[in-house]
Chains A and B, each alone.
Chain A
Amino acid sequence: MTLVELTGVSKHYGGVRALEGVSLEVHAGRITCVLGDNGAGKSTLIKMIAGLHRHDGGTLRIEGEETHLASPREALDRGIATVYQDLAVVPLMPVWRNFFLGSEPRKGVGPFKRLDTGLMRRTTREALLRMGIDLRDVDQPIGTLSGGERQCVAIARAVHFGAKVLVLDEPTAALGVKQSGMVLKYVAAARDEGLGVVLITHNPHHAYLVGDRFVLLRRGTMVGNYTRDEITLDELTQQMAGGSDLDALRHELRRN
């Protein structure tokens, strides 16, 4: 099933063309990787899917219905959860408060309506456990977790709140090898739960480990859109690095 479909989408900021003619499909239980160097338009693409920016041209379909997203809240309500690389969580808040931030369960009536803190703590622990994350203490500030762990909590949060589409912005960018592997494992776990995943990255190795479809961006335009059997890791890496650019660089750096 196609959850999100972008067709020929473009975005301009004043006189700057940030994105032009990008098409992309997100299917349930599949991982779509968006690859590109810095400035390729990856962030712009995310912001449109997450509801932070409206697209200027082309169409955005959510479950077949053409739409314009007005706010992150609306995107969330439509089942699109976005995990940003640097602003996924509030570091000084406990894990369980972060987990439910923006969707807090409450009990009681009228002025005595209050957070159901017991349920929140319990659910956080259980939801993390289901993703294979065993936290001893959900009361610790989330900032005390490692970068990879925080990504995983954010992913578990999206899965728990019934997101249909999970957008991940460079989840492995600042992480070491081991932590990257851990995050990719949870990305795969989210896919196995039936979510459609959009994985934004500039690392073709990470993308190829989990991806079903690869969309390549360069300077705001789409330069490739492949399924897994249409491209090998070497080709992907080559394309990613800019093909002929890389050859030129190799020539330039060659020692005489």
Chain B
Amino acid sequence: MTQTADERILRSSPLRRLLLSRPELGSVVGALAVFVFFGVAADGFLRASSLSTVLYASSTIGIMAVPVALLMIGGEFDLSAGVLVTSSALVSSMFSYQMTANTWVGAGVSLLVTLAIGAFNGFVLTRTRLPSFIVTLGTFLMLTGMNLGFTKLIDGTVSTKTIADMEGFPSAHAVFASTLTLGGVDFKVTILWWLGLVALASWILLRTRAGNWIFAVGGNQDAARAVGVPVARTKIGLYMGVAFGAWISGQHLLFSFDAVQSGEGVGNELIYIIAAVIGGCLITGGYGSAIGSAVGALLFGMTSKGIVFAEWNPDWFKFFLGAMLLLATLLNAWVKKRAEATK
């Protein structure tokens, strides 16, 4: 048998080996191409201030794309991720305002509530064994309704009351929404959150037991269960990871301004998923990387801002997005076919 195995190894090209070992490679090539393209086509795209804008746009998506990518590697979707961000901001804002509590207390309550919603998603999924598409579509609709319903019920309008004058607001603003100046260029603090999350997620995926389990439950759930991997616990953990990302994003949303629009967030869940897929995550699970999701988010940020700098009609953004998604998915499908070629 060693003969046939070695023959196979010799036959595989170095490019194929590289693509198989690095899920995000395709997206890196794509990101470079888009970068060069807008560098040439759009005046001022390469200015430091422009790049900082691009990084900020990328980070707001990237913070969510990281846990969404992990969840997707674990074989599931979360359609409620977009509105969960808004829910998290609303809970934080309304608790602080109504209880006249320190904004940090509100943020803490929001963290618990958001994590509980994530755990609920995971729990319902693993208990009922329904597809995650259905389960999280359900929570998506329920949260959308609750966001609007509770806000109108409590505040009388579709947005929350300002909490800018409340205790703890300046420090929370500093943590979640401040601007840092580096070499004369302003950078949003979300970029740090984003990079931190990418590093943490990469560590978890590649170097911890939980990471091994995430790949396994996404790649072959039954095999994972048979060798003793706690499948349900892993999946619930992944949904809580998405919830944690939603909490950070939600607090950013709140503390960037001082009030939240309760109808926001709808549709963003697809953007997170697209960023993860462009970054090399297989839609069927079991393959992908956290760094890839960051590259996907960066592609997103570059395209959305690049079109503005190039002074094109922003309607074209969606077209570029769709084309990139299609290309990325084709590449991913090809990789998967190769990896399972002899199955």
Contact = CB atoms under 8 A, between A and B. Distances in A.
B340 to A, nearest CB: 4
B339 interface: yes
Given A90-B223, A133-B1, A134-B2, A101 B21 contact: no
Nearest to A113: B208
B99 interface: no
Interface stretch (B4-12, B38-46, B190-198, B252-260): B4-12
A115 B229 contact: no
A254 B11 CA distance: 49
Nearest to B226: A72
B73 to A, nearest CB: 10
Which 3 residue pairs across A and B have the least CB separation, nearest first?
Answer: A102-B227, A90-B219, A102-B228
A87 B220 contact: yes
B212 A115 contact: yes
A89 interface: yes
Interface in A77-123: 82, 84, 87-93, 97, 100-104, 106, 113-115, 117
B129 interface: no
Most buried by B among A90, A91, A113, A144: A90
Contacts of B229: 101-102
A90 B217 CA distance: 9
Residues of B contacting A: mostly: helix
A146 interface: yes
B219 A115 contact: no
B224 A143 contact: no
Nearest to A114: B207
A222 B1 CA distance: 36
Interface residues of B, number: 37
Interface string B318-343: 00000000000000000010011111
Given A89-B223, A93-B286, A101-B227, A136 B5 contact: yes
B285 to A, nearest CB: 9
Nearest to A75: B228
A87 B287 contact: no
Contact of A92 (B203, B207, B215, B227): B215
B208 A91 contact: no
A148 interface: yes
Nearest to A183: B1
A76 B227 CA distance: 8
Contacts of A103: 227-228
Nearest to A84: B226
